[in-house]
């Protein structure tokens, strides 16, 4: 009997989103809370994008061996184990920070743990997205594209918002001795909670996920699986336009990702806003949570009603606005209420704009190697994020926060230059015409 996708699509994409945001953003908050420099944090955590860049090279292995269902269950179980190790490492090293501040030994070991988690998370991405394309019919894929994006974004907002805020409520540097436990053991509790969460995900999905008939190894000799998947991707029509769009659409966003948490959390004496970790998490996890849901719902509805070409211009314009918001905040240091409003608008706009990018990737990932093609596209996207993220800390320390955000705002205008390139990709029109047999509506989210 066919199972209702509502029973597993939301949880699959929660499980896909949590490790990405914990590894790439919450790690930044952790290291900022422990007192490491912006340059050190941005450069080294920028390397954590590497598995998402390289995943295109082992995605054919996911296509050629076992089922996508088995791969994603294994990756979720592995992530549970990695979070257990991070919890133990954080608790073991916490006394050093309580007495002497951050030490490189902890930084190196924890970074290695995050990197291992990044490889597991990248593999989970490959398997989950491949499973989605195999388990759902084209009509169902169209119906649930907004739903899956909503729950992926929910995981990112909860992970960087509510989880961080609750962690800060347990203990913080600012209120040493008044929390429920000594700081920074509260971070060990967060990782222990994540380990339990992923054990639960793995158990639930092992029980609930159907076994699609199409979910099996691609019927081709393993030795040629890699070559065939890359050949079919890199010989497709309009490849230059596809690569340019994937690499540059999120360029401004890439410069912001590592610096924004540091700008919000670092002391005002350094030109930052000096927000507490708890308030940072509350804004991200409450206002931001609601905004991203509205943005994704609206984005999915608008794309279903008007199509990619009509939506991409306004969505791209909305995507670059946060760069200008942060330039204003760095220059004017507005009140906490204004900061909260601007961050909420950032999440609303990002929810809209990323729906277009998600649909773009899905439209160009078709054929026998759709799982590998999806992974190659998202790997190229990660490469576009990795370089600017690694350089952002150095650039911020050279220019200051105001100069950095003004520069990032100007760079983000490149997004508008690549939008016309997407209009030349013929496969977008062809795939969209097929997918729009079913038009997503707000009722799909009920």
Residues contacting residue 426 through CB under 8 Å, at least 6 positions apart: 237, 238
Residue ranges of the chain with pLDDT lower than 70? 1, 93-104, 174-179, 218-225, 285, 371, 429-446
* Contact (Cβ atoms closer than 8 angstroms) between residue 374 and residue 130: yes
Q: Which two tokens stand for residue 108?
A: 């190196």
Q: Supply the pLDDT for residue 10.
A: 94
Look at residues 148, 435, 426 and name the one whose alpha carbon lies nearest to residue 307: 435
pLDDT digits (tens, 9 = 90+) for 166-210: 898 888 776 655 667 878 889 999 999 999 999 999 999 999 999
CA distance 204 to 342: 38
CA distance 399 to 38: 13
Note the pLDDT of residue 433. Answer: 66
pLDDT score recorded for residue 84: 95
Q: How far is 426 from 287, CA to CA, in rounded Å?
A: 39
- Residue 157, pLDDT score: 83
The residues near 224 (Cβ < 8 Å, ≥ 6 apart) are none
Phi-psi label, residue 172: left if phi above 0, alpha if psi -120 to 50, beta otherwise: beta
Residues comprising the chain, all counted: 446
Q: Does residue 161 contact residue 288 with C-beta atoms inside 8 Å?
A: yes
Tell me what pLDDT residue 237 has.
85
Where are the chain's structural domains?
Answer: 5-211+222-445
pLDDT at 445: 31
Q: How far apart, in whole angstroms, are the C-alpha atoms of residue 425 and residue 239? A: 8
Q: What pLDDT was estimated at residue 219? A: 60
pLDDT for res 225: 60
* pLDDT at residue 446 in the model: 28
Residue (of 106, 123, 119) closest to 61 by Cα position: 123
pLDDT in tens, 359-377: 888 888 777 777 678 778 8
* Cα–Cα dist 284/158, whole Å: 8
Residue 228 CA to its chain's centroid (Å): 28
User: Which ranges of 161-286 would DSSP assign to H, the alpha helix?
Assistant: 162-170, 185-208, 222-234, 239-248, 251-265, 277-285
* Rounded distance between C-alpha atoms, residue 164 and residue 289, angstroms: 13
Which superfamily does CATH assign the domain made up of 5-211+222-445 to?
A: MFS general substrate transporter like domains (1.20.1250.20)
pLDDT number for residue 439: 46
Peptide bond into 48 cis (omega under 30): no
For tokens 């849901």, the residue is 293
**Per the confidence metrics, is the pTM higher than 0.75?**
yes
pLDDT at 95 (0 to 100): 53
Q: Are 364 and 374 in contact (CB under 8 A)?
A: no
The CA-atom distances, in angstroms, between 44 and each of 114, 188, 222, 259, 276 are 11, 21, 35, 13, 23
């Amino acid at each position: 009997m066919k199972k209702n996708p509502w029973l597993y699509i939301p949880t699959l994409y929660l499980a896909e989103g949590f490790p990405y945001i914990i590894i790439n953003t919450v790690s930044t908050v952790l290291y900022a809370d422990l007192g490491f420099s912006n340059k050190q944090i941005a450069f080294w955590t920028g390397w954590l994008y590497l598995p998402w860049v390289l995943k295109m090279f082992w995605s054919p292995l996911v296509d050629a061996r076992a089922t996508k269902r088995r791969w994603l269950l294994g990756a979720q179980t592995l992530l549970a184990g990695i979070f257990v190790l991070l919890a133990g490492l954080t608790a073991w090293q916490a006394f050093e920070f309580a007495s002497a501040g951050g030490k490189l030994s902890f930084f190196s070991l924890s970074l290695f743990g995050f990197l291992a988690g990044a490889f597991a998370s990248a593999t989970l991405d490959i398997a989950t997205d491949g499973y989605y394309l195999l388990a759902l019919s084209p009509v169902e894929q169209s119906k649930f594209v907004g739903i899956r994006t909503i729950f992926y974004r929910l995981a990112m907002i909860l992970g960087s918002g509510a989880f961080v805020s609750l962690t800060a409520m347990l203990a913080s540097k600012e209120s040493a001795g008044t929390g429920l436990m000594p700081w920074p053991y509260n971070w060990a509790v967060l990782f222990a909670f994540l380990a339990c969460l992923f054990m639960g995900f793995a158990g639930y999905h092992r029980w609930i996920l159907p076994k699609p008939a199409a979910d099996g190894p691609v019927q081709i000799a393993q030795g040629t699986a890699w070559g065939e998947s890359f050949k079919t991707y890199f010989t497709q029509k309009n490849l230059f336009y596809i690569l340019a769009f994937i690499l540059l659409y999120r360029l401004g966003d890439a410069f912001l990702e590592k610096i924004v948490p540091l700008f919000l959390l670092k002391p005002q004496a350094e030109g930052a806003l000096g927000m507490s970790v708890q308030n940072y998490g509350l804004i991200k996890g409450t206002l931001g949570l609601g905004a991203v849901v509205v943005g994704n719902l609206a984005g999915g509805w608008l794309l279903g009603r008007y199509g990619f070409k009509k939506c991409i211009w306004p969505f791209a314009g909305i995507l670059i606005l946060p760069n200008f918001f942060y330039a204003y905040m760095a220059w004017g240091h507005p009140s906490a209420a204004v900061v909260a409003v601007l961050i909420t608008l950032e999440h609303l706009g990002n929810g809209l704009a990323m729906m277009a990018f998600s649909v773009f990737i899905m439209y160009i990932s078709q054929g026998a190697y759709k799982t590998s093609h999806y992974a190659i596209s998202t790997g190229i996207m990660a490469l576009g994020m990795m370089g600017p993220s690694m350089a952002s800390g150095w650039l911020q320390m050279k220019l200051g926060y105001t100069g950095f955000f003004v520069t990032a705002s100007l760079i983000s205008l490149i997004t508008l230059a690549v939008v016309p390139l997407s209009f030349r990709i013929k496969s977008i029109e062809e795939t969209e015409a097929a997918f729009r047999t079913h038009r997503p509506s707000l009722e799909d989210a009920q």
